Amino acid sequence: MMIRRRTFAHVVSAAAAAALVSTQPNAVLGTTRVLGQSVALKDIVPAGWVIGAAINQNQSDGRDGVAVDLITRQFNSISPENVLKFQSVHPEPDRFTFDAADRYVAFGRDRRMAVIGHNLVWHSQTPRWVWDGPDGGLADRTTMLARMRTHIATVVGRYKGKIRGWDVVNEALSDDGTLRDSPWRRGIGDDYVAQAFTFAHEADPSAELYYNDYNLATRPEKRAGAIRIIKDLQQRRIRIDAVGEQGHWRLDTPTPAQIDQAITDLRATGVKVMITELDVNLLPQAAPPTAGQPPSSESNPYATGLPDDVQQALARYYADAFRIFLTHRDDITRVTFWGVSDADSWLNRGRMNYPLLWDRQRHPKPAFDSVVTVLTGKR
């Protein structure tokens, strides 16, 4: 063990080497495991970034001890996979349910992490009552705005000074860059986005406020829509600190050049850029399986394991992405993975997917090593 430690110590930072000595459980794993687990992403990201993971309730409640250790060692920011969504905290008009969310926030604060709020206004995972009018149709503008304001004031207010920043509006755009025809927009009008940011700022003037969406790297017209949202807020003198590209990517898309262009374009608005939900989907696009039926083998090609060439392609993709991120080190303030290990990922949905840096046994994958290599400037 001493030889391994010494051999390793000279190729990584002193901080990482110190972490190695203090993480005895890793000693039971093989050499590469020891090496991989011992480097902490949080110790090697550029100054000015935080590196995060979305955590699920088993993790924020402390039931999944192995994952908790991994999150604690590796990350200095967390996002809530589900516990802060509208339906989780505000299921009925006069009922707020904060137990799980409180534990999530405490999890991050106990570890001095940047705790992220996700999210306030979205068309999904939001209860029907929010948009319903008395006659079964849509609520009128005044009613819906009042509901939005109560929700934001209560949730943001509760965690004032404790949550660093909020995804205020999530996924407001269609792929063509126009505003999505969501119940929020139909009920309130196009200014619902500006209203949400205003309410969030009122509730916690110190909190950072973000606009978050997907396909901003793959679709220039959608990116243009995000830029219009940002500029509209800026023209109205409403606070916005950063734009999040979710980063639900695939091996073939977006390309490194597209990622590079997206960060450049988004940053040109003046706000910072965050990669907020990074994962790389390795499975073919497939229609949702019939309930109760196992997925077809074509839709689930890696049911018994990931071939090495795909494993290596994933490692290369992550390396390429992080190389681009580093060229934008001053434009980016956060990179967050949507999950910790492949076992936890939302991308499985009845199939076997491998989108993250840790495998189902919570061992680091070649993709982890390739990210470490890039972040430590070795390649």
CA angle 345–78–48, rounded 5-degree value: 120
Range 24-57 burial, b when 16+ CB lie within 10 A, else e? eebeeeeeeebbbbbbbbbbbbeeebbbbbbbbb
Answer yes or no whether residue 277 interacts with ligand XIL by CB under 6 A: yes
> Shortest gap between Cβ of 347 and ligand XIL (angstroms)?
9
Measured from the CB atom, the residue of 37 and 170 that comes closer to ligand XIL is 170
Taking the C-alpha atoms of residue 11 and residue 17, their distance in angstroms, rounded to an integer, is 9
Answer yes or no whether residue 81 interacts with ligand XIL by CB under 6 A: yes
> Shortest gap between Cβ of 346 and ligand XIL (angstroms)?
3
Rule CB under 6 A: choose which of 60, 170, 218, 269 binds ligand XIL.
Answer: 170
> Shortest gap between Cβ of 246 and ligand XIL (angstroms)?
6
Range 335-374 burial, b when 16+ CB lie within 10 A, else e? bbbbbbbbebbbbbeebbbbbbbbbeebbbbbbbbbbbeb
Phi, psi dihedrals of residue 76, rounded to the nearest 5°: -120, 20
Rule CB under 6 A: choose which of 82, 88, 269, 341 binds ligand XIL.
Answer: 82
Measured from the CB atom, the residue of 208 and 277 that comes closer to ligand XIL is 277
Rule CB under 6 A: choose which of 138, 343, 346, 373 binds ligand XIL.
Answer: 346
215 DSSP assignment: S
Answer yes or no whether residue 8 interacts with ligand XIL by CB under 6 A: no
Number of residues that bind ligand XIL (CB under 6 A): 6
* Contact present, 76 and 51 (Cβ < 8 Å): yes
Measured from the CB atom, the residue of 13 and 348 that comes closer to ligand XIL is 348
Annotated catalytic residue 221:
no
Answer yes or no whether residue 245 interacts with ligand XIL by CB under 6 A: no
Taking the C-alpha atoms of residue 160 and residue 117, their distance in angstroms, rounded to an integer, is 11
Q: Give Cβ neighbours of residue 88 (< 8 Å, ≥ 6 apart).
A: 82, 97, 100, 101, 125
Annotated catalytic residue 277:
yes
Nearest to 180 by CA among 152, 213, 148, 219: 213
Measured from the CB atom, the residue of 123 and 239 that comes closer to ligand XIL is 123
Q: Which entry of 171, 202, 208, 221 is annotated as an active-site residue? A: 171
E-state strands within the chain: 50-55, 77-80, 114-121, 165-170, 208-213, 242-245, 248-250, 272-281, 332-337
Q: Which entry of 81, 208, 245, 277 is annotated as an active-site residue? A: 277
> Shortest gap between Cβ of 317 and ligand XIL (angstroms)?
19
Measured from the CB atom, the residue of 6 and 349 that comes closer to ligand XIL is 349
> Shortest gap between Cβ of 123 and ligand XIL (angstroms)?
11
> Shortest gap between Cβ of 137 and ligand XIL (angstroms)?
27
Rule CB under 6 A: choose which of 88, 215, 218, 246 binds ligand XIL.
Answer: 246
Measured from the CB atom, the residue of 20 and 222 that comes closer to ligand XIL is 222
Which positions from 95 through 124 interact with ligand XIL, judged by CB under 6 A? none
CA angle 379–6–315, rounded 5-degree value: 30
Rg of the Cα atoms in the chain: 21
- Catalytic residue set: 171, 277
- Residues of this chain that interact with ligand XIL (CB under 6 A) are 81-82, 170, 246, 277, 346
